[in-house]
Amino acid sequence: MSDARTVVLVEDHALTRAGLRAVLDGEADLRVVAEAVDGPSGLAAIETHRPAVAVVDIGLPGIDGIELVRRARIVAPLTRFAILTVNDLESEILAALGAGADAYSLKTSPPERIVAAVRAAADGGAYFDPAIAGIVMSNLGAMPSRPVVSPLTPRETEVLRLIASGTGNAEIAKALHIGLGTVKGHIRDILEKLAAADRTQAAVVALRRGLI
């Protein structure tokens, strides 16, 4: 387990927290290294442990999960963030997206979806719970965005589809039978063409515009 990706779990409900820990620690490639019960202690745990992924509930006392992600990205810039929410309110989902979270899942989703969200974030990908993906697509359509600089190539579209499904660079290379350097080059070109700042934003833009 020494090579497992580390996780900090920030959840104020004890029973939910215990269940999440059991699910995540049950995966050979994930290891929960700290738990926190509110926003301030969650921020401190993330800054102390600098985990690969922080799993953050939106409805936290002290500092809500959205503000926690904003602050934590400053003190732990290499940490990725998976947001969990008990409902599918558009306002919460879009606010979390704006804060810079990498993965989004409903607490009511099957355990495998929550694991997929955490694993995708750890691998540098983006993950949207199917219910949340629909909300993102339907609510971001009216927001202004810069046009695509030039059309995506078929290969770039394949890479973008894998990014949106939460696939990391190494897995993309394996799936498409191309080199890791080639994958990174495609991602660089995709970000430029979509005027996206990062992989998560590229996935959202792609969903919004029906590119994948």
The residues, any chain, with a CB within 8 Å of residue 127's CB and separated by 6 or more, are 82, 102, 103, 104, 105, 116, 117, 120, 121, 165, 166
What domain count does the chain have? 2
Residue-range definition of the domain harbouring residue 28: 5-140
> What pTM does this model have?
0.67
Write down which residue in 85, 109, 140 finishes a domain.
Answer: 140
Does residue 178 sit in the same domain as residue 120?
no
pLDDT tens string 154-201: 999 899 888 776 677 888 999 999 999 999 999 999 988 888 777 777
Does residue 69 sit in the same domain as residue 120?
yes
Write down which residue in 110, 140, 170 finishes a domain.
Answer: 140
pLDDT tens string 47-76: 999 999 999 999 899 999 989 998 998 999
**Is residue 39 classed as helix, strand or coil in its secondary structure?**
helix
Does residue 129 sit in the same domain as residue 163?
no
What pLDDT shows up at residue 171? 86
Write down which residue in 140, 168, 200 finishes a domain.
Answer: 140
What pLDDT shows up at residue 114? 92
